Structure formats: C-alpha cells, structure tokens
Amino acid sequence: MLDPIKAAPDEIVRTSTLSTKWRHTWTSCPNLIFDAATMCANSTTSSKEQRARVFIASVNAVLKQCGATAVEEFQIKFPFDNLLVDHLNNWVKFAVLSRAKNLAIELEPEDSRCCKHPFPFELFDKQSMSRLEAIRLSFVSLKARPNFSGFPNIKALDLRSVDVSSNDLQLVLSSCSNLERLSIAMCHPHDDIRVSLPRLQHLHVAHSCINKIHFISKNLRTFVYDGFMVPLDLSESLQLGHVEMNFPSLTLEHAITELPRAMPHAQNLNLSACMTLKVFCLPEGVTKFSHLKYLQLRLYFSGQDNLLSLASFLKAAPLLEE
C-alpha cells in the first residue's frame, strides 16, 4: 500500500480518491507527524517557496482525508515561511478538534530574523487545554490572553526560540500544575523567572537571557544548564539527584560559594567551564554541598593556573565520594 506520508501531493489526492481502504487507513492513524523530509520527499525543486507550497498541499490533502479523526500526536515541523501563515492556525484547529494530546509546532527557519508566528491561544477552550499532555514549540511567540485558564494536565513543555515575556512565561508555567519536564532554550524574557511547579522532575535551561532562575520544585531530580552564570535558586529541590552545568566562563570562587547556595541538595554534579584557577580559601560559615557525592569537572584553563586550588572543592563538598 502507498505510504501516504511519503507520497507526493498528486499521488495523495489521486490515491485518496480511488481507494476507500486507503481513506480508512488515515482515519485510524493515531499520530500525524508532518515534516519537510517526508512531505517533500519527492520534490526536486530547490526553491524554498516551492517546497513550502508542496508541504502545504501535502498536509492539507492528508488532513482532508482524516476528517475528525481522534489523534494522539499532531506535529508540524517545517522552516517558517510567510506562505504558512494562512494555514498554521487551521492545522492547529484540526489538532484541537481531533482531541490531540501531544502538540508540536516547530518552525525554526534558516533565517532567524523572520517574524515569529503567534501561538493561537484563541483556538483552545478549557476542554481542549485540559486534554493536552505535551507541547513542543519552536519559533513562535507566546502572548497569553487575559482569560487564559492554563494547561492543567500537561506533563512536558519544550520551548525553543520562543518570544515570550517573563510575565507571560510565568503565567503559562504557573498554570501547568502537573508539569514534570520543562525545557527552555534560546528564549529571552530578560527578567526574573520565579515559579512553583510541585511535580517538576526534569528542568533544562539553555542559552536564554533570564536574569534570575528560581524554581520551587521539591521533586526536581535533574537540572541541566547551559549559558552564562545567573543567580539561581533551587534550594527547595530536596531530591535533586543529577546536575549538569556548562558555562563559557566561571570563577573558582563563584563555583565554590554560589553553586552550593543555589542547589545545596545536589548529589551528582558535572561541571564544564572556562575557569581561571587562583588560590582561594573557603570562608567560614559558607553554604556547602552538603549532599554532593559525585563530582566531575571539565575545566579549560591556562598552563599557569594553580591546579592545587581545585582542592577547595573538597572542602565545599565534605561528603564527596568520587
């Protein structure tokens, strides 16, 4: 049987017209994943505009056959083009009407100077919001509406290159009371983020302009951070088992005094940074890594730096085993 995802647009239309059996295959498809590699597989054009037209025609042809089919996952992954603007909201509306549980809209283009597509909050009512369990967004803008009621059952949220203010981000996050996994990458609210997420277990923040990160998440188990050092507060994460941190630059003093204060309950720490090693005496009474048992350092420094200064980590982590 013809694979409808990999078929060319004319093949999709022709086959769907002739084959009732093929049409029923689509109506029972639980996952609708549309990306450039599959929807434009038979396209020989190198024109971005033509590829966008092929993608649009292919997606629309498939959705026309699906009707009101219930789907588990609905995903659009294609570099943003102005031609998509008139279709994106219709596709999201289809996902809403199809009772999708997992929604992904990934539009990151080759040219990041393009305007980002507004996420259509207006298409969701309380029921459709409560059905969603996972959302992945790339190259969209988030502006929550005044009557925004939130995503009460979402468990995973992935934001990449999303335009969002700190107020809107905190509003969205605070509505996700069951959130377990959160990833924020290349988002720049340029302000503090303080939010309580009691069920959060995994947090990833990368290359984002956030002035201060404060998560009240007692069940947090994994934290991954990549970027410049900013004030951080995970002091209430009592079960923080694994931490990975990558800094373009970091002082030894900052690493030994600020990081234990930010996450005193961390048990395993992988730290990568460009660091200048200088003799440093740990002040009396300073907060220590009171639970840290495993430490892996990947440091980049000049040959003149004082390697013996790394012994300060032993004083900052008295329970260190390896």
pLDDT score for 262: 94
* pLDDT tens for the chain, residues 1 to 322: 334 334 444 444 433 333 344 445 555 567 899 988 878 766 666 678 888 888 899 899 888 887 666 789 999 999 888 889 889 999 999 999 999 999 999 998 877 667 889 999 999 999 999 999 999 999 999 998 878 888 999 999 999 999 999 999 999 999 999 999 999 999 999 999 999 999 999 999 999 999 999 999 999 999 999 999 999 999 999 999 999 999 998 888 888 888 999 999 999 999 999 877 766 666 666 778 888 899 998 888 765 556 666 777 777 777 777 6
Distance CA 57, CA 91 (A): 12
Q: Provide the Cα torsion 209, 211, 216, 218; round to 10°.
A: 60
Fold of 9-240: 3.80.10
* Helical packing angle, 48-66 and 9-18, nearest 10°: 20
* DSSP letter, residue 161: S
pLDDT score for 16: 39
* DSSP letter, residue 249: E
Distance CA 210, CA 205 (A): 10
3-state secondary structure of 307: helix
3-state secondary structure of 78: coil
pLDDT score for 23: 45
Residue type, 3: D
**Segments making up each domain of the chain, as ranges:** 9-240, 241-322
pLDDT score for 285: 65
For the chain, how many helices (H) and strands (E)?
9, 17
Quickly list H helices, the chain: 9-18, 20-27, 36-39, 48-66, 85-97, 126-131, 166-174, 252-262, 312-316
Residue 234, classified by CB atoms within 10 Å of its CB into exposed (0-12), middle (13-18) or buried (19+), is buried
CB 223 within 8 A of CB 263: yes
pLDDT score for 86: 87
Cα torsion 178, 184, 190, 194: sign: positive
pLDDT score for 266: 94
